[in-house]
Amino acid sequence: MNLTRILPFARELLAKAVPENGVAIDATAGNGHDSLFLAKCVGEHGFVYSFDIQKQAIESTKKRLISENALTPVSLIHDGHENLLTYLKTEHMGQVDGAIFNLGYLPGSDKAIVTMAEKTITAIRHILTHLKSEGLLVLVIYSGHEEGQEEREVLVPYVRQLPQETYHVLEYRFTNQRNNPPFIIAIEKR
């Protein structure tokens, strides 16, 4: 297939936005794949905030980062992404290059623990405030489960009404696939 699939496309976008020595946010650490990717983008002198409400996810992310010798730039935060402002360092205010939300539940874990639209939107608002010009926020939306459908129903209208004078908003999805496949929303600050 020549069309870029969903997860590689999310990475492609982030790689463009997050430079060496940059500042990035993994809003949903899970098993740490995105935190590792962002840590490699920013290098040891950059900074990555990595959030998860599950202790197990934080531990699993830490393990992955250590095994790849990439723990140095990452701050692992066992708290909800909606509380970002409690953790954002003064020198990073208005300086965030990129952020990713991989929404839904952690594969292989408790499917009852899912991201929730209201908290996701609170976190998006905070991140948008602190994104740099040309900084990028990427959402990977999974709506195969019930809460995921509710989250999609709230998030899509929210991002579509963001003012075009301030943000470019992109939706990237395969429209003829069965069973609500994941899709991407990317928001670039102008």
62 in contact with ligand SAM (CB under 6 A): no
121 in contact with ligand SAM (CB under 6 A): no
81 in contact with ligand SAM (CB under 6 A): yes
- Three-state SS annotation for the chain: CCCCCHHHHHHHHHHHHCCCCCEEEECCCCCCHHHHHHHHHHCCCCEEEEECCCHHHHHHHHHHHHHCCCCCCEEEECCCHHHHHHHCCHHHCCCEEEEEEECCECCCCCCCCECCHHHHHHHHHHHHHHEEEEEEEEEEECCCCHHHHHHHHHHHHHHHCCCCCCEEEEEECCCCCCCCCCEEEEEEEC
Residue closest to ligand SAM, measured at CB: 30
**Among 22, 104, 135, 182, contact with ligand SAM (rule: CB under 6 A):** 104
Of the listed pieces 10-18, 98-106, 151-159, 172-180, which binds ligand SAM according to CB under 6 A?
A: 98-106
**Among 73, 84, 99, 115, contact with ligand SAM (rule: CB under 6 A):** 115
Q: Which of residues 123-182 bind ligand SAM (CB under 6 A)?
A: none
Round to whole Å and give the CA distance between 120 and 171: 17
106 in contact with ligand SAM (CB under 6 A): yes
33 in contact with ligand SAM (CB under 6 A): yes
**Among 14, 24, 41, 57, contact with ligand SAM (rule: CB under 6 A):** 57
CB closer to ligand SAM out of 134 and 182: 182
* Type of residue found at 23: V
User: Considering CB under 6 A, how many residues would be counted as binding ligand SAM?
Assistant: 20
Query: What are the φ/ψ torsions at residue 96 (nearest 5 degrees)?
Result: -80, 125
97 in contact with ligand SAM (CB under 6 A): no
Interface positions with ligand SAM (CB under 6 A) = 28, 30-34, 51-54, 57, 80-82, 102, 104, 106, 113, 115, 119
